[in-house]
Chain A
Amino acid sequence: MIDNILLGLATAFTATNLLFCFVGVLLGTVLGVIPGIGTIVAISLLFPYTFYLPPDAGIIMLAGIYYGTAYGGSISSILLGLPGTAVNAVICTDGLAMTRSGRAGVALLLTAVGSFVGGSFGILLMMAIGPMIAAAGSQFAAPEYFSLMLLGLVAASAMVRGQALKSFIMVGLGILVGMIGTDTNSGIPRLTFGHLELFEGIGLVTVAMALFGIAEIISSISSQTGNYAPVQTKITFASMVPTRQDWKRSWGAMGRGSLIGSFFGTLPGTGGLIASFMSYLAERSVTKYPEEFGKGAVEGVVGPETANNAADQTAFIPTMSLGIPGSASMAIILGVLIMHGLTPGPKLITDHPDLFWGLIMSFWVGNILLLVLNVPMVGLWVRLVTVPYRIIFPAVIMFCCMGVYAVSGDVFHCWLVILIALFGYAARILELPAAPFILGFVLGPMMEENFRRALLTSRGNLAVFFERPVSGAIMLVTMLLIAYAVASPLLQTIRARATLDKAA
């Protein structure tokens, strides 16, 4: 363990990696502060540029962007009552109330401290159980992998309330689009319709830019005007000092937030959003001051921010130790690992210990940098939200065009972006979620590969997925989740009808 930590520190503290960790958290904070640009948009816009870096620096920078957005997002939530990213939405009411009563500085400081505590807890957990999960995972063969990926995809869909069916459909469409290109087993081009440019498949860059860049802009232009006027722009150091009472109320919230966040971060399909919401509910039920909730309760701000940061860090556990991403952002990070020629899975930790431990240690560097960036420089970030959206989105368009063109080197993929963006916008209008699509797109080819391999070794026996104990157990959980997803809306309808009958 000590060796690994030292190896990680040696990797994280090279000049290049320190620099790109800083660049990552800085970009993450900036994009997180701007309402209308969330975590997934920030990652989609910037991941193509990490290809120009060595793998470790690229992943460290991308991870910095990823957890930096939640830090930045909390600033706009507190000062404007507008969520910078979706995970910060739950703290808006209490955060803004604290700002209105002149306690913005305290809220910002305690949020930064809470995020650091939550992040650190998540990092410790990743150090402790990541290698353990990888060791268990190294016993897995193709059937287990297939079952695990299926579980990941089903869980990611079933957890979205009332959206399970639509999410799963989007996963399926993602898998289908992921199949475009040359079939690795037979060498036959599939669904390319004669286009040579499609033989290598549609790139992750093309899909991510279209769905989370272009389609997002089209639907945000009318609603996001930007140009917000913050309630308070000057925050003095003196106003940041929390009272003893504040500290007393925050420690508990940070502890609970760390636990809640780590739990939901590690689970596939759930993440920062559910974690911060659950933490808010937990704080409201254990507090001695329930009357303050919604009117500026400090634990209602600190708890959720701690939880979402813990969840951001622990989301790396299944991604790095098993190669199974639990969210769209993690799917893109996994895709970047693959594009750098690294095979995600249990062997990653043993084959590339410098990358794994370097990444973990860089999380700490990044979290400390965020603490330093956020607290004294908050005045600068506040000014960012006053930039109108009409200034921001043309720049985003440029990054989308150039990103796709730089990676693919031809205009064909630029045309594809339009096609996929139109699909993405249509999906948005019809209320179909885009995030599961990217999960299916990334996991699809790996699923097919493991599916075929499992059947080849079992001589065509489909029962292999259920007969092997580990795979069988995973399949059982998957089926329970499907049953839950099918039953819960049905039960709701029945209950709703029963109440209606009573009323009548």
Chain B
Amino acid sequence: MGKDFWAGLAISIASLATGIYCYSNYEMGTIRNAGPGLFPVAVCVVLTVLGIVLLITGIRQAREPIVVEWRPLFFITLAMAVFPLTIQSIGLIGSITATTFTASMAARDFRPVASVIQGVLIAGASYLIFVIGLRLPVPAFLLPW
């Protein structure tokens, strides 16, 4: 079983579930006057079938190792969470510094001191671009308490 099997499996299950959800929650209408549910259900049916076809082709594939780059995946995802968690409480400079510093940890050749400096520089650049340049109403500094 190869990658296509797992991809096909995930896609067919997700599309089937979405299709059933749409069918039971939105009006299908008639062909002449289609309701909000008709097109989504049609797309889900096609996707479910294609997903099953992919699944079947995947059964005969040779098994390949699925390589996940955990370190970048973890730290980039974390960085992307740091931003919405902090932007409204500590302001632009602090939030961007924390976000880019967290992101820097994703690299294998991570250098803490250099990354802090880089984070502050990027935060300064974002202040110039967004607050001075584009006049985005975001406070530069905020006290969280």
Q: Which residues of chain A have a CB within 8 Å of any CB of chain B?
A: 49, 52, 165-166, 168-169, 172-173, 175-176, 179, 183, 185-186, 188, 190-191, 214, 217-219, 221-222, 225, 388-391, 393-395, 397-398, 400-402, 405-406, 411, 414-415, 417-418, 421-422, 425-427, 429-432, 448, 451-452, 455-456, 459-460, 462
How far, in whole Å, are A166 and B10 apart by their CA atoms in the complex?
Answer: 13
Q: What residues of A have a CB within 8 angstroms of the CB of B66 in the complex?
A: 429-430
How far, in whole Å, are A293 and B7 apart by their CA atoms in the complex?
Answer: 40
How far, in whole Å, are A340 and B144 apart by their CA atoms in the complex?
Answer: 37
Q: What would 30 A/B residue contacts be, using CB atoms closer than 8 Å?
A: A49-B134, A169-B11, A175-B43, A179-B39, A179-B40, A186-B35, A186-B36, A191-B40, A214-B76, A217-B106, A221-B69, A225-B109, A391-B118, A393-B107, A395-B122, A397-B76, A397-B80, A397-B100, A398-B99, A405-B83, A406-B134, A414-B80, A418-B77, A427-B7, A429-B3, A430-B6, A430-B7, A431-B7, A448-B39, A455-B32
Instruction: State the Cβ distance, B1 to closest chain A Cβ, in Å.
Output: 12
Which label, helix, strand, loop or mixed, suits the secondary structure of the B interface? helix
Contact of A217 among B54, B76, B88 (CB under 8 A): B76
Instruction: State the Cβ distance, B136 to closest chain A Cβ, in Å.
Output: 5
Asked whether B69 lies within 8 Å of A219 as measured between CB atoms, the reply is yes
How far, in whole Å, are A429 and B81 apart by their CA atoms in the complex?
Answer: 22
Asked whether B107 lies within 8 Å of A389 as measured between CB atoms, the reply is yes
Asked whether B99 lies within 8 Å of A169 as measured between CB atoms, the reply is no
- Indicate if B84 sits at the interface (CB-CB under 8 A): yes
Asked whether A432 lies within 8 Å of B118 as measured between CB atoms, the reply is no
How far, in whole Å, are A190 and B44 apart by their CA atoms in the complex?
Answer: 14
Contact of A402 among B11, B40, B43, B130 (CB under 8 A): B130
Asked whether B136 lies within 8 Å of A406 as measured between CB atoms, the reply is yes
How far, in whole Å, are A388 and B43 apart by their CA atoms in the complex?
Answer: 44
How far, in whole Å, are A427 and B27 apart by their CA atoms in the complex?
Answer: 31
Q: Which residues of chain B have a CB within 8 Å of any CB of chain A?
A: 3-4, 6-7, 10-11, 15, 18, 21-22, 26-27, 30-36, 39-40, 43-44, 46-47, 50-51, 53-54, 57, 66-69, 71-73, 76-77, 79-81, 83-84, 87-88, 96, 99-101, 103-104, 106-110, 115, 118-119, 122-123, 125-126, 129-130, 134, 136, 138
Instruction: State the Cβ distance, B135 to closest chain A Cβ, in Å.
Output: 9
Asked, given contacts A176-B18, A186-B27, A406-B134, whether A390 binds B107 with beta carbons under 8 Å apart, the answer is yes
Known: A214-B80, A398-B122, A427-B7. 6 other contacts (CB 8 A): A172-B43, A218-B106, A395-B122, A421-B80, A429-B67, A430-B10
Q: Report the 9 A-B pairs with minimum CB-CB distance, sorted nearest first.
A: A460-B32, A411-B84, A414-B84, A394-B100, A430-B7, A183-B36, A390-B107, A221-B72, A460-B31
